């Protein structure tokens, strides 16, 4: 039974490859390029003719064969796998970049102002990660060393408030346009070279621990 199915598949492959090659022959330009293409097509035919025997031989392998097989399998060149690998690599690089950027930004804000970062939202250009499209930062005032109790309510005085969008949750995270925000934007611009109009800074005026960590998008 196995042999019959094996032969069937093999014949199917051969028939299909010859049909395909006949169609390709029609497409060929009639120039002196023809012989080069015929060479490649010949390789393909040989591949299709030979490859089933490999499967047949692999059914009764010994240890030496197995070792060499693993070796060849690992060195097998597969285009699709490679592209998949590259895309996952890209994603990993992007993630790493974002995390590094976030930690650096947190450190910078903590050291240069009397605010600390609660949450950062980054919109990145898909092609070039260096181009940040938008940066949203939620800051809250640094707690003083002495009143670092869990239940304390941080009260923040906001002098000047502009609410850009009433529909989203900006009642909690208002973009504060007072001196501090301008200063923070300036610091970020100087250190990371992000244009000021792409930076949005919100002040977290909720109680400590009440942060839901979401921006209205």
Partner 1 sequence: MEILQIVTIGIVSTVLVVLLRQWDRPEFAIIVSIVTGIFIISMLLDKLKYIIDTLSQLIRYTNMESAYFTIVLKIIGIAYIVEFGAEISRDAGEEAIASKVELGGKIIIMVLAMPILLALIDLIIKILP
Residue 120's CB is within 10 A of a number of other CB atoms, namely 17
Q: How far apart are CA 205 and CA 135, in angstroms?
A: 19
Which range binds partner 1 by CB under 8 A, 9-17, 96-104, 136-144, 182-190? 9-17
Residue that has been written with the tokens 């450190």 in this structure: 107
Q: In whole angstroms, how close is the CB of 97 to partner 1 at the nearest point?
A: 31
Choice between 48 and 120, CB closer to partner 1: 48
Q: ∠ CA 65-71-76 to the nearest 5 degrees?
A: 120
3-state secondary structure (DSSP) of residue 173: strand
For residue 37, state whether it binds partner 1 (rule: CB under 8 A): yes
**Is residue 33 a contact point for partner 1 (CB under 8 A)?**
yes
Q: Where are the alpha helices (DSSP H) in the chain?
A: 2-27, 34-58, 63-74, 79-112, 179-192
70 binds partner 1 (CB under 8 A): no
Contact flag: residue 80 with partner 1 (CB under 8 A): yes
Residues that bind partner 1 (CB under 8 A): 9, 12-13, 16-17, 19-20, 23-24, 27-29, 31-34, 36-37, 39-41, 43-44, 46-48, 50-51, 53-54, 57, 68-69, 72, 76-80
């Amino acid at each position: 039974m196995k042999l019959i199915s094996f032969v069937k598949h093999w014949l199917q492959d051969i028939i299909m490859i010859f049909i395909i090659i006949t169609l390709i022959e029609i497409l060929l330009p009639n120039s002196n390029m023809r012989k080069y293409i015929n060479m490649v097509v010949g390789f393909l035919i040989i591949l299709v003719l030979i490859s089933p025997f490999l499967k047949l031989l692999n059914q009764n392998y010994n240890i030496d064969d197995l070792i060499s097989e693993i070796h060849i399998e690992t060195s097998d060149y597969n285009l699709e796998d490679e592209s998949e690998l590259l895309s996952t690599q890209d994603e990993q690089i992007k993630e790493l970049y974002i995390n590094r950027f976030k930690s650096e930004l947190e450190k910078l804000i903590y050291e240069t102002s009397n605010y600390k970062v609660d949450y950062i939202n980054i919109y990145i250009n898909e092609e070039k990660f260096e181009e940040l499209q938008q940066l949203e930062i939620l800051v809250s005032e640094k707690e003083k060393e002495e009143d670092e109790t869990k239940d304390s309510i941080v009260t923040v005085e906001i002098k000047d408030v502009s609410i850009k969008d009433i529909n989203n949750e900006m009642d909690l995270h208002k973009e504060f346009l007072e001196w501090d925000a301008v200063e923070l934007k300036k610091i970020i611009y100087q250190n990371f070279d992000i244009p000021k109009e792409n930076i949005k800074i919100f002040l977290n005026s909720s109680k400590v621990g009440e942060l839901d960590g979401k921006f209205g998008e």
